Structure 1
């Protein structure tokens, strides 16, 4: 048994839920026993199905009243439009001291608290690199969950998936979502574009893709290793008047890449805010 208090119910075992569960069960960083986890989804995703078949993780088609009463922690990873009806149905059975962690994009604390009043609730924005322990989770707690004890429990669950940060102003969560939640897709798109550009210059497709993927992964590893801030690293590989400078000039011409990224984050933030308002019934 791990040091998590009570059984962990993962409500929704799709891509993101599976990524978290995989993080929990990695021996090197997780240390959470498969016996402590139950996946609640009638159609688990591929990653979750693998955990069921190879690690013996329990699975249930639905969160029944009987099952809800056994949980110490409920991690909610279902579609945003399902949150209110599904959680409201649990109100009579989920223990009052059960910690609820929602990773549902765009669902604010007020929606979660209306469905499950008087419970400790934390809203978290995770991302898919959690599956390999390289994720980014940002959390905000309601007043009941705003204690060191609950913070420790949340981090115990989320740190195996990567870094964890906290904010006190929930209004910042839409910006967080637009950066770290949506950000992997931006990086993947850039990698696709880099590979396509390499192929257009005459490189074989397979080599072009390998060069693009390893370049992006290696650059990220340099930043994570603390070799310098992004602007410092950029300057370190840019010789005045050289090939890299020519490429950067093209990327930044007329606003270029920085402007596009700013527009992308702004658009994602606005959409997230709208989703949150719709979820809350505003």
Structure 2
């Protein structure tokens, strides 16, 4: 991406992951500024990546052509209103990775007429295997769209959605999704122990099986249903297990869970500013 000045407001884990991804992709550390109230976090990022740091948000926003809001959703209103004058004067691209805060609320807090991209990343971004959905308002240019995408691609996959409300569905899928897989792994590990395996063996085999299944799915052009059928021999052990899952209503339960997560995402968005 074009080597403009990036300003990160917030120095938490996600900001650190994005900065690490960008630097490893060849982005110049000298073009990255970071602010946070926590001096220790800033010192850590400065020593690890060689970026510029400040405890003053205004200093960072005043340098940047792209401002990444990487603070907790509950504090975003205070941070954004504090940056409004600088944003209105400089007119940077603003990229928000705060879950649940709508573009309308952000634009209002920032003083209006802001080029804005809202992102929904997930925790695997911390190990550069993230899945992020993005939506931009009608003020962003194609160049700004590419800039926002490049930031998120530095830690994994990045896709655009056509409507902002679809980010609630993304939250239910990839945002909350890692926990669903962890729950499945937890259940498989417990069942394996009940069948006689020791915990270490059960956990290792569960983890590697999850990794292998995901890699096959990523590298194949076939849908999951076809991949499942390929490893489900008629009359075999896998078929018997799948039948038990189906008898328990697994598919319907997953849909029910994701609808609940999506509804909660919409509810939190209303609570955080509409």
| Class of the TM-score when normalised by the shorter of the 2 chains | over 0.9
Name the counterpart of 2:7.
9
> What is the distance in 1 between the residues matched to 2:102 and 2:128?
26
**Deviates most, 257-266 or 241-250:** 257-266
Aligned length: 272
TM-score (norm 1): 0.90
| In the alignment, structure 1 residue 231 sits paired with structure 2 residue 225 | yes
Distance of aligned partners of 1:76 and 1:279 in 2 relative to their CA distance in 1, 3 Å threshold: same
Contiguous gaps of at least 5 residues in structure 1? none
Distance of aligned partners of 1:207 and 1:16 in 2 relative to their CA distance in 1, 3 Å threshold: same
| In the alignment, structure 1 residue 136 sits paired with structure 2 residue 131 | yes
**Residues 179-211 of structure 1: CA distance to partner in whole angstroms, max 9, x if unpaired?**
011111111121122112111111111111100
**Pick from 50, 61, 74: which aligns with 1:56?**
50
| In the alignment, structure 1 residue 71 sits paired with structure 2 residue 76 | no
> What is the distance in 2 between the residues matched to 1:19 and 1:253?
42
> What is the distance in 2 between the residues matched to 1:62 and 1:245?
60
Return the offset for 1:142. Answer: 1.1
**Deviates most, 51-60 or 199-208:** 51-60
Cα contact 1:8–1:75 (8 A) shared by 2:
yes
> What is the distance in 2 between the residues matched to 1:259 and 1:40?
45
Contiguous gaps of at least 5 residues in structure 2? none
**Pick from 266, 269, 272: which aligns with 1:276?**
269
**Residues 85-143 of structure 1: CA distance to partner in whole angstroms, max 9, x if unpaired?**
21111111134431100011111100111012122100011112223332111111111
Question: What is the 5 A alignment of 1:198-217?
Answer: 198-217=192-211
Cα contact 2:3–2:28 (8 A) shared by 1:
no
SS at match of 1:213: helix
**Pick from 162, 167, 178: which aligns with 1:168?**
162
> What is the distance in 1 between the residues matched to 2:266 and 2:205?
37
TM-score (norm 2): 0.92
> What is the distance in 1 between the residues matched to 2:20 and 2:187?
30
Name the counterpart of 1:261.
254
Name the counterpart of 2:187.
193
